[in-house]
Amino acid sequence: MSQKYYLLRNREIPDIDQMPVYLANGGYQALRKALNEFKPEELVELVKKSGLRGRGGAGFPTGMKWGFLPNDGRKRYLVVNSDEAEPGTYKDREIIERNPHQLIEGIIISSYATKAREAYIYCRGEFLFGSEQLKRAVQEAYEQGFLGENILGSGFSLDLKVYRGAGAYICGEESALLESLEGKRGNPRLKPPFPAIAGLYGGPTVVNNVETITNIPAIVTYGAEWYTSMGTAKSPGLKIFSVSGRVNRPDNYEIPLATPLRTLIEDYAGGVLPGRKIKAVIPGGSSVPLLTPDKLDTPLDYESVLQAGSMLGSGGCIVLDDQVCIVGATARLVKFYREESCGKCTPCREGTYWMTDILERIEHGLGTPADLDTLLDVADNIGGKCFCPLGDASLGVLVSAMKYFRDEFEAHVFEHACPMGAKLYDTVNH
């Protein structure tokens, strides 16, 4: 379990959030190399060869995304999505708080590659310390000549601003994020056109996640072959997995893709408490279907997790042990989507309310047999029928929980009580 950090360098280099420390540890050398040795198109090719996929959840190939920008002379934008707000996911917060310069260096290189002259970091409103760290680090980068006019004498210029959101999970969806950045309600836009064609202020725009961009300096420094030497052919490289829930060492773990789920939970996160067993795992943030313990040997890469019946998503891994009430856990997650639905489309706005009502009724022993069918019926009327992915995201855990733990839902209905004999939290030593 030897560990070599690239994304979470703050773990081995204290105070790397400070410019002098970052510089003393090779900081901004990748930027110099990118500007001196690469043309923008060559950098796009390098990222394509590395196979880097978007780490915000969708896993779309980053280099390909960059390649979608049209060459029509319009002003281009790079926007970094730092609106991390999905239960179980907390990797980007560590980067922006503890290693902001690697993100900023990645932004400058990525902007050079995509010929953007203006970039924004859209930072979640709740991340007050994170946005303060980013603003300070951006100021330091300007003072060092890494931002602004004619960066390091290369002729390339870039302005970078930190934009603080104001509390809305939906703004993590890229088009809602752009709406928010334009001073509007964070409602998703109809796609197409995709941001690459018409994004911020109508211009060609790349929207990338914090972790995605933080990979870029390492790929420039060590090369595409280094990156593809880890993981699988289709899912290469390193990934941060955020483990939480009923484990002994909840934390961010930076490991190569295709590392088995069991290794992440048992070796890195220390497994579940003594005497307990894993009941289910939500492997990729709260929007993905849960996996049962027979899938613990699944390699954590995009294709294998999909094959196992879930999605890698953001890598937010929530572990449920055998004392967790699955109905209570499901009700809690669906309530999250009810609270965060932007209200733009009816299936999501009404459906998440309806499902939460039913789930809370069942959890409190007041459900009826018809409720179980109604739940799945409502879910069926949300799935694939919403304006943006938030509606579908509310179903992943619910539908899989009803598939794998139907007996537990029925026990709540027919016995009018939780068969675990407990509320969601009662089993915690607190």
Partner 1 sequence: MKPEWIKWAQEAKEQFPEANSSLLPLLHRIQQAEGWLSDDTIRDVASLLGLTTQYVESVASFYSLLYREKVGKNVIHVCVGLSCALAGADKVMEELEHKLGISEGQTTPDGEYTLLEAECLAACNLAPVVQRNLRYHGLVNTAQLDALLADDEKEVKS
Q: How far is the CB of 22 from partner 1 (least distance, A)?
A: 17
Contact yes or no for 174/181 (Cβ under 8 A): no
Give the nearer residue to partner 1 in terms of CB position, either 44 or 399: 399
CB 213 → partner 1: shortest distance, Å?
18
Cβ within 8 Å of residue 390, ≥6 positions away:
169, 170, 173, 188, 337, 340, 341, 342, 348
DSSP 307-334: HTTS--TT-EEEEEETTS-HHHHHHHHH
The residue (of 195 and 231) whose beta carbon lies closer to partner 1 is 195
Q: How far is the CB of 57 from partner 1 (least distance, A)?
A: 14
Give the footprint of partner 1 on this chain (CB under 8 A): 84-90, 92-94, 97-98, 118, 124-129, 161, 163-169, 180-186, 201, 242-246, 250-252, 286, 316, 318, 320, 324, 328-329, 332-333, 336, 339-340, 342, 423-425, 428, 430
**Least separation in angstroms between CB 259 and partner 1:** 18
Which CB atom, from 178 or from 257, has the smaller least distance to partner 1? 178
- Could you tell me the end-to-end alpha-carbon distance of the chain, in angstroms, rounded to an integer? 30
User: Which element (helix H / strand E) includes 175?
Assistant: helix 174-181
**Cβ closer to partner 1: 43 or 332?**
332
Nearest-approach distance from CB 70 to partner 1, in angstroms? 19
Angle in degrees, 0-180, between the axes of helices 326-340 and 396-404, rounded to the nearest 10 = 160
CA 19/CA 3 separation, integer angstroms: 24
CB-side exposure of 200: number of CA atoms within 13 Å? 24
Which of residues 39 and 184 has its CB atom nearest to partner 1 in the complex?
Answer: 184
Helix (H, G, I), strand (E, B) or coil at 279: strand
For residue 174, is it left (φ>0), alpha (ψ between -120 and 50) or beta?
A: alpha
For partner 1, give the closer residue by CB, 58 or 422. 422
Residues 245 and 226: their CA atoms lie apart, in Å, by 33
Residue 92 CA to residue 246 CA, distance in Å, equals 22
Residue 346: its H or E element: helix 346-363
CB of 263 to partner 1, least distance (A): 18
* Residue 375 backbone dihedrals phi, psi, to 5 degrees: -55, -50
Which is closer to partner 1, CB of 35 or CB of 401? 401
CB of residue 152 vs partner 1: minimum separation in angstroms? 25
Smallest distance, partner 1 to C-beta of residue 364, A: 14
Place of tokens 């060559």: 42
- Closest to partner 1 by CB, 109 vs 401, is 401
